[in-house]
Structure 1
Amino acid sequence: MNHIVSPNVRSGHVELATFAGGCFWCMVKPFDQWPGVVSVTSGYTGGHKENPTYEEVCSGRTGHVEAVQIAFDPLVFPYEKLLDVFWHQIDPTDDGGQFCDRGSSYRTAIFYHSEEQRQIAEASRQALSENGQFSRPIVTPILPATEFYRAEEYHQNFYMKSPQHYRMYRAGSGRDQFLRNIWRETL
């Protein structure tokens, strides 16, 4: 994937981070507006089918999850901060999907692109497990990154293309209420 270097990039070095947090529509905006984030792409990863479609992924037969792949400058916005944003968007105790979206394609996962990312992600998950924020065990797996397939264009930046539908979906899915209850902050 080619990434355009933006004014947010100071080091000229761009890394990738890949997170699955349920519906990818809800995972773009939380990352998209931070300094140092070059791009956030909706797509599919973790499965066995090459070039899957949205319908194939939703069928649960491809092994893929909906995910976002983030190109970022680690000197401006470190991986640790991306993980913090990620944990604040999901229910990491639910291995059956996220909120109203149920099934294998809506599972959570962290896909690491380097040994350093794996170690940072493991430490972050351990800290979350120990801080008492959740009463149930954290079940979000940390897995090696595999091929990432860009989702269809209508899924990209959905929050900007269809803001009213996006807001209604987030509210109706139960995500916003859950996150407010857990993190006690306004989204």
Structure 2
Amino acid sequence: MILIPCAARAADQTALFAGGNFWALQAMFDSLPGVERTVAGYTGGTEANPHYADVAHGRTGHRFVVLVIFNDAAVSYEQLLHAYWRAIDPTDSRGQFCDHGAQYTSAIYTYGAAQAQAAADARMLMETDNTAFSDANGNDIHVATAILPAGIFYPAEIGQQRYYEKNPLRYWLYNKLCRRAARLQSIWGKPSP
């Protein structure tokens, strides 16, 4: 069962990604053409209707996630996967950047066999093909990102939605202190202009 806060159009597709605290991941997905909307939330745990503080302290078993509603005529699931990999540290099994704990670990939650296969293919390519997915030094990457079937999605509190817009200074400081950009550059190289 999935709880989506707004009805999606019939042509839209749904994807679900975990990559540390959802603030930066939501900002990245919101910037992509073809993404209709995103919702920050929680999934994977046993507690119904979790709250941010409980998830952040690891009390619910949930991960921080971003639900992505996208128009697959404008952006493919494979393109979302590519953007996702470049926004996380797929080698960190302890969490992401300065956030550690199971709630901050990366995962791709899939809706159906096609998404599961695309995610598995992208992960395998990243681990084996240095020309497509490698660190900035050309080394093979051991991927710690889980691929799991999607379960119940719980939207995060309104104050957590689009945090980067509501609290731009705090969001900037969070990314800076976590050294997010520096770590991503060390893995993926300099971003394209």
The two structures have a TM-score, normalised by structure 2, of 0.89
Shift of 1:186: 3.9
Whole-Å Cα distance in 1 between the matches of residues 21 and 105 of structure 2? 9
Whole-Å Cα distance in 1 between the matches of residues 149 and 162 of structure 2? 25
Aligned-partner SS, 2:17: strand
Q: CA contact under 8 A between 2:185 and 2:191: conserved in structure 1?
A: yes
Whole-Å Cα distance in 2 between the matches of residues 19 and 4 of structure 1? 18
Shift of 1:115: 0.6
Question: What does residue range 100-111 of structure 1 map to in structure 2 within 5 Å?
Answer: 100-111=98-109
Which of 152, 177, 184 is the equivalent residue of 2:157?
152
Shift of 1:3: 4.0
Instruction: Please state if 1:166 is matched with 2:171.
Output: yes
Unaligned 5+ segments in structure 1 are 6-11
Aligned-partner SS, 1:88: helix
Aligned-partner SS, 2:142: coil
Which of 171, 184, 191 is the equivalent residue of 1:179?
184
Shift of 1:131: 2.6
| Amino acid of the structure 1 residue aligned with 2:13 | E
Q: Percent identity?
A: 39
Partner of 1:126: 124
Deviations 1:102-137 (A, max 9, x none): 111101000001110000000000011113314451
Partner of 1:35: 33
Whole-Å Cα distance in 2 between the matches of residues 158 and 185 of structure 1? 25
Partner of 2:67: 69
Whole-Å Cα distance in 2 between the matches of residues 137 and 183 of structure 1? 14
| Amino acid of the structure 2 residue aligned with 1:56 | D
Shift of 1:4: 6.3
Which of 10, 17, 24 is the equivalent residue of 1:19?
17
Unaligned 5+ segments in structure 2 are none
Which of 144, 147, 165 is the equivalent residue of 1:142?
147
How many residues in Structure 1 have an aligned counterpart in Structure 2?
181
Runs of 4+, deviation exceeding 2 Å: none
Aligned-partner SS, 1:142: strand
| Amino acid of the structure 2 residue aligned with 1:46 | G
Deviations 1:55-95 (A, max 9, x none): 11122131100010000011110000000010001111111
Q: CA contact under 8 A between 1:3 and 1:39: conserved in structure 2?
A: no
Q: CA contact under 8 A between 2:63 and 2:105: conserved in structure 1?
A: yes
Q: CA contact under 8 A between 1:4 and 1:38: conserved in structure 2?
A: no
Partner of 1:8: none
Whole-Å Cα distance in 2 between the matches of residues 32 and 136 of structure 1? 27
Whole-Å Cα distance in 1 between the matches of residues 189 and 172 of structure 2? 19
